[in-house]
């Protein structure tokens, strides 16, 4: 029966997929209408369910009949078959909904490697199609990055921009740009597997693969990617094991002429906690940054957004907004959205008065949100340490500095009394806080790196 199934499957999918996903399967038994197959790992099972469920259904139809069922037996430890096999009733309709066995959390089933498009068997790229070059406004602040991105988009893997690394502060358009590159490549090269993943997701998938003993599948999955877009690599700081696997995947892809595109919220120079050998790889290609948008670009961005929404507002209002919000594009968009909401709620036109009113409310709101927890989280994240590190007793240099910066920012941004700040930083007394603030103040004056770091951190709280 299984051979019959294999025959059907082999005819329906590419040879490579067949070899990877069906040859390792061992048929165990046929009990009435229930066929039991043994698969090498949890991951393997998930992959089959996510990607080949309709093929399996077809095969079962032909080999057993429409009421044929499939049962998986998953090998847990090498050679140790799991006691209770998972029974999966492969649906008879073409619905992509597969019934999920109770003892597998939905989380596990959806991650690490989620559904592919069931009909075409193309791999899901996780790109957001709304991010395109067309709606990416070009300006002095982003011209180099944008043009390099466009070159990569039109000739992936061929230019010397490999990897392409784009860095810049929050909300400056990194994700938009790299997604635009991905979308462009995907739409113009239907045979290429483009994958967008955040470094955080990559890390979680990796950890999950370790937990479920499916590291090989994990690596294999990433090695078949043609264009890898990996967002926010600063998240990999201090995650040595994840960096190691990423290093291997990176090398493999790069050697095979596959395109790699990365973003980071800071320059490679500031990416402490990243292995040197990985950092040196990043420098093989092109590294370019996104700057804060200048006034002209801000105006153009507002116009573009309004146009996309089909909303008209007067030029003087646009200029007012562009003058008032000079932090980042995300903020600019946020204001436009609230402005439109205000206008439609109150059934009034968007004029200067409404713009001023809206802006005032937003500024007040964002002030309120800054509390010591967010300051600590952002600071820890920035330096690649944990909040617990900031609160710890450790006097290690690589912790003392972030801790001092954290206290400095807490003073600036929360207005809490020094005593209270000390309390939140692991119960330190207020003279320690004073000392920290002084130390950072001095460093800001003497040391450009500190100045830049503090400025960037402050920008998070604007």
Candidates 73, 142, 162, 175: give the one binding Mg ion (CB under 5 A).
175
| Binds 208: which of ligand ADP, Mg ion, none (CB < 5-8 Å by kind) | none
Name the pairing type of β-strands 286-289 and 259-264. unpaired
Give the distance between the most distant pair of CA atoms in the chain.
79
154 is in an annotated binding site: no
Take residue 77 and report the two structure tokens written for it: 């430890």
Cβ 191 to ligand ADP, closest distance in Å? 27
In the bound state with ligand ADP, the residue whose beta carbon lies nearer, of 195 and 301, is 301
Residue 170's binding partner out of Mg ion, ligand ADP, none, with CB under 5 to 8 Å set by partner kind? ligand ADP
Provide, rounded to whole angstroms, the least separation between the CB of residue 83 and Mg ion.
Answer: 44
Cα dihedral 261, 263, 267, 270 sign? negative
- 379 is an interface residue for Mg ion by CB under 5 A: no
**Which tokens go with 410?**
């807490």
In DSSP terms, 346 is beta-bridged to: none
173 belongs to an annotated ligand binding site: yes
Q: Based on CB atoms, which residue is closest to ligand ADP, 98 or 234? A: 234
* Closer to ligand ADP by Cβ: residue 64 or 180: 180
Dist CA 460 CA 153 (whole Å): 30
156 in Cβ contact with 185 (< 8 Å): yes
The answer to whether 290 touches 167, Cβ cutoff 8 Å, is yes
Q: Which residues contact ligand ADP (rule: CB under 6 A)? A: 135-137, 142, 168, 170-176, 301, 329-330, 333
Number of residues that bind Mg ion (CB under 5 A): 2
- Whole-number minimum distance, CB 335 to ligand ADP, in Å? 12
What character string, x for contact with Mg ion (CB under 5 A) and - otherwise, covers 145-174? -----------------------------x
Q: What is the dihedral of CA 140, 142, 145, 148, to 10 degrees?
A: -60
Which partner in Mg ion, ligand ADP, none is near 182 (CB below 5 to 8 A by kind)? none
The answer on whether 334 is annotated among ligand-binding residues is no
Smallest separation, CB 114 to ligand ADP (Å): 21
Q: 107: burial class by Cβ within 10 Å (0-12, 13-18, 19+)?
A: exposed
Place of tokens 């989280």: 377
- Cα–Cα distances (Å) from 227 to 163, 186, 234, 256, in that order, read 10, 9, 20, 11
Measured in whole angstroms, the distance separating CA 21 from the mean position of its chain's CA atoms is 27
Question: Residue 174 CB, nearest distance to Mg ion (Å)?
Answer: 5
Cβ distance 84 to 71 under 8 Å?
Answer: no
Q: Smaller CB distance to ligand ADP: residue 125 or 214? A: 125
**Shortest reach from residue 175's CB to Mg ion, in Å:** 3
Binding site for Mg ion (CB under 5 A): 174-175
Residue list, annotated binding site: 171, 173-175
Residue list, annotated binding site for ATP: 171, 173-175
């Amino acid at each position: 029966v299984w051979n019959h199934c294999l025959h059907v499957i082999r005819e329906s999918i590419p040879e490579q997929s067949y070899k990877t996903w069906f040859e390792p399967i061992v048929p165990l038994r046929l009990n009435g209408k229930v066929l039991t197959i043994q698969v090498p790992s949890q991951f393997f099972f998930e992959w089959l369910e996510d990607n080949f469920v309709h093929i399996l259904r077809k095969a079962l139809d032909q080999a057993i009949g429409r009421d044929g069922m499939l049962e998986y037996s998953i090998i847990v430890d090498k050679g140790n078959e799991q006691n209770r096999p998972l029974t999966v009733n492969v649906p008879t309709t073409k619905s992509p909904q597969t019934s999920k066995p109770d003892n597998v959390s939905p989380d596990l089933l959806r991650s690490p490697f989620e559904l592919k498009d069931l009909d075409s068997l193309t791999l899901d790229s996780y790109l957001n199609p709304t991010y395109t070059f067309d709606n990416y406004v070009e300006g002095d602040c982003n011209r180099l990055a944008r043009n390099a991105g466009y070159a990569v988009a039109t000739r992936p893997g061929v230019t010397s921009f490999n990897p392409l690394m784009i860095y810049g502060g929050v909300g400056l358009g990194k994700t938009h740009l790299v997604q635009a590159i991905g979308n462009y490549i995907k739409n113009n090269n239907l045979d290429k597997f483009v994958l967008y993943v955040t470094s955080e997701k990559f890390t979680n998938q990796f950890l999950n693969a370790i937990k479920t003993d499916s590291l090989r599948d994990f690596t294999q999955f990433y090695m078949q990617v043609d264009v890898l877009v990996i967002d926010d690599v600063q998240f990999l700081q201090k995650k040595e094991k994840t960096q190691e696997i990423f290093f291997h995947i990176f090398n493999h892809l790069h050697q095979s002429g596959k395109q790699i595109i990365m973003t980071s919220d800071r320059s490679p120079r500031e990416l402490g906690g990243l292995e040197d050998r990985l950092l040196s790889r990043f420098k093989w290609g092109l590294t370019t940054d996104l700057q804060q948008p200048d006034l002209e670009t801000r105006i153009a961005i507002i116009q573009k957004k309004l146009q996309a929404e089909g909303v008209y507002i007067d030029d003087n209002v646009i200029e007012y907004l562009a003058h008032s919000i000079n932090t980042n594009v995300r903020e600019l968009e946020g204001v436009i959205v609230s402005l439109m909401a205000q206008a439609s709620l109150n059934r009034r036109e968007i004029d200067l008065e409404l713009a001023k009113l809206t802006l005032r409310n937003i500024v007040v709101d964002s002030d309120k949100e800054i509390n010591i927890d967010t300051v600590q989280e952002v600071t820890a994240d920035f330096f690649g340490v944990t909040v617990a590190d900031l609160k710890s007793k450790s006097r290690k240099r690589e912790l003392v500095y972030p801790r001092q910066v954290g206290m400095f920012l807490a003073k600036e941004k929360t207005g809490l009394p020094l005593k209270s700040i000390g309390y939140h930083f692991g119960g330190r007394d207020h003279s320690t806080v004073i000392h920290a603030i002084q130390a950072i103040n001095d460093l800001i004056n003497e040391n450009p790196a500190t100045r830049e770091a503090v400025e960037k951190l402050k920008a998070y709280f604007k």
